[in-house]
Amino acid sequence: MTTPHVQWSALAPDLILLGGAAFLLLASIAVRDRRARDVAMVVGMGCFIGSLIAVGVIWDYGGGAWRVLEGQFVIDRFANVVRVIVAGSGLMTLMGAYGWSRLRQRGPEFVAFLLVAAAGMDLLASANSFVSLFVTLETFSIALYALCAFETRSSASLEAGLKYLVLGSIGSAILVYGAAFLYGETGSFLYPEVAKGTVGNTDSLLVLAGTAFVLAGLGFKIAVVPFHMWTPDVYEGSPTPVTAFMSAATKAAAFAALFRVLVTALPAMGDVWRPAVATASVITMLFANIAALRQTNLKRILAYSSVGHAGYLLMAIVSGPAGAKALLFYLAVYAATSVGSFTVIAIRERETGEPATIESLRGWGFSRPVLGAALAIFLLSLGGFPPTAGFLAKFYLFAAAIDADYTYLTIVGVVATVISLGYYLRVGLALYDKRRETGAMLAPAPGAFWAGTCAVIGVAVVIWLGVYPPDVLNWAGDAAATLIAAP
């Protein structure tokens, strides 16, 4: 369904998020006491739920895809799946962040930035032009720069925000150069027009340079080797609720954007970018999982884990149509697992007042059985153990790679998964180390109820998708088909 004017109904989920952010920024002027946190939480959760409802209505009503703002965005089912993942991640993040002391003074600002970042991610997944790609990329990136440095009393948080700003800006600049090169050859920034312009010009120096620069620029956002260098430091230094949201939502939006760019703008360059992406997948999977073995800080462990999972997801990129379905399913599973993991870590940090390490978790599973069991299940899912959803997510990803004749990627993926068990099981065993039961005398952390609820929801999703995935798989398949079939 294509119309020449703006379909505001197609943009409803994003407008709800942006409207909520504007309201909270105005409300922060009038409400300055602790009630501000509760107001912000209610508005933020309401906006994310409203966004989910709007996506549901669009899914049932739209069927196909809207081209809005002169074709700058395509609102199709592929983009709507990403909207659901982003909104679900945001909702879980707010639940896990409720007890964070910083929200008592700056709750409205935090939630407003979170809503702006989520809206930018939604639109990034819908971008149909390098202009809209860059604008939406910067929209959510600027909000995340501020969120990373939100704990202004912490030098680690300020350092994380600065590092993310500098390296993120470099990645954006490289992306702009790539778009400029492609424009120089094709005369357009719109993906379909770029695709037409590259046909028969695959040997052009401008097209080759543009493709390489676009891949490098987006490589910073998805954190693949060698563009991952910011990830461990930023994940460790940022407030844990921010890290939780970044790890899930940013990855979903950035991979969706990368897939759309390669499929709709650069299909003619497949012989160039597929070997490059496959090579990056191999290097990323192996390097990240080996590097994680040496870490003791839990946020750094999960940061390298995130980089490793980016390597797995690159397998979907090179696998073609079958990979699109596996990509969306994997992103949904990873979002629930990652947000849940960081939420549990946030609770432990609030209990001890110190960064969470493997040593700080020893025996904690006995004193906090629900949270300990939740973290153990999340780790098993990240490691690909059945019957968790992480096992099926990897299975469908590996199957798609084999079907696309990338069997060697599957072999490397299995090897990398085995390596990852070294640090996932190390954390899990520390949780239930009978030689030292820690935290038994500590009072429950502030916001433990909401964070525990978030963890339980995450566990329910991980188990549900691991035991009965057909509904979500069909949903992902329908969404992937709209992108693959797009002209």
28-71 pLDDT, tens digit per residue, is 776 666 677 778 888 889 999 998 998 888 776 655 577 787 77
pLDDT value for 384: 87
Residue 32 burial (10 A CB sphere; 0-12, 13-18, 19+):
exposed
- Can you read off the two tokens belonging to residue 308? 């490793």
Task: Give the model's pLDDT for residue 439.
Answer: 44
How far out from the chain centre does Cα 138 lie?
A: 16
Q: Which tokens in the block code for residue 252?
A: 């979903």
User: Average pLDDT of the chain?
Assistant: 85
Q: What six digits make up the tokens of 435?
A: 């030689």
Q: Name which of 310, 318, 316 is nearest 278 in CA terms.
A: 318
Q: 271: pLDDT confidence band, cut at 50, 70 and 90?
A: confident
pLDDT at 359 exceeding the cut of 90: no
Which pairs from 32-38 meet CB under 8 Å and 24+ separation?
Answer: 32/105, 34/104, 36/104, 36/105, 36/107, 36/108, 37/98, 37/103, 37/104, 37/107, 38/107
* Count of alpha carbons within 13 angstroms of residue 212, beta-carbon side: 8
In tens, the pLDDT along 67-84 reads 787 778 888 888 888 999
Name the band, by pLDDT with cuts 50, 70 and 90, for residue 3.
very low
Predicted local distance difference test score (pLDDT) of residue 357: 86
How far apart are alpha carbons 260 and 436 in whole angstroms?
50
pTM: 0.90
pLDDT at 168 over 90: no
Which is nearest to 223 in space by CA: 271, 291, 123? Answer: 291
pLDDT tens for each residue of 200-253? 777 788 889 988 999 999 998 888 988 888 888 899 888 888 999 998 899 999
Beta pairing partners, 297 = 357
As a whole number of angstroms, the distance between CA 76 and CA 125 comes to 10
- What span, in angstroms and rounded, lies between the C-alpha atoms of 456 and 462? 10
How far is Cα 104 from Cα 37, in angstroms, rounded to an integer? 5
pLDDT in tens, 416-459: 999 999 999 998 888 887 776 554 445 566 667 777 888 889 89
Helix (H, G, I), strand (E, B) or coil at 75: strand
Over 327-386, what HEC string results? HHHHHHHHHHHHHHHHHHHHHHHHHHCCCCECHHHCCHHHHCHHHHHHHHHHHHHHHCCC
Cα Rg, the chain, nearest whole Å: 21
Percent of the chain as helix, strand, coil, to the nearest 5? 80, 0, 20
Does the pLDDT value for residue 4 go beyond 80?
A: no
Max Cα–Cα distance, the chain, nearest Å: 70
| Residue 189 token pair | 């920034």
Residue 241 token pair: 């609720």
> How far is 44 from 51, CA to CA, in rounded Å?
11
Tens of pLDDT, residues 380-389: 999 888 888 9
pLDDT digits (tens, 9 = 90+) for 81-120: 899 999 999 999 988 888 776 777 777 888 899 999 999 9
- Average pLDDT of span 121-128: 90
Tokens at 191, concatenated: 């993906």
Check residue 84 and give its pLDDT.
92
161 in helix, strand or coil? helix
Number of Cβ within 10 Å of residue 52's Cβ equals: 18
Look at residue 436 in the predicted model and tell me its pLDDT.
64
| pLDDT given for residue 442 in this prediction | 56
| Tokens standing for residue 193 | 């027009």
The residue extents of the domains of the chain are 12-484
With CA atoms as reference, report the closest residue to 155 among 79, 218, 233: 233
The confidence band for 152, taking pLDDT boundaries of 50, 70 and 90, is confident
| Helix/strand/coil for 223 | coil
Whether the Cβ atoms of residue 342 and residue 240 lie closer than 8 Å to each other: yes
Segment holding 391, helix H or strand E: helix 389-403
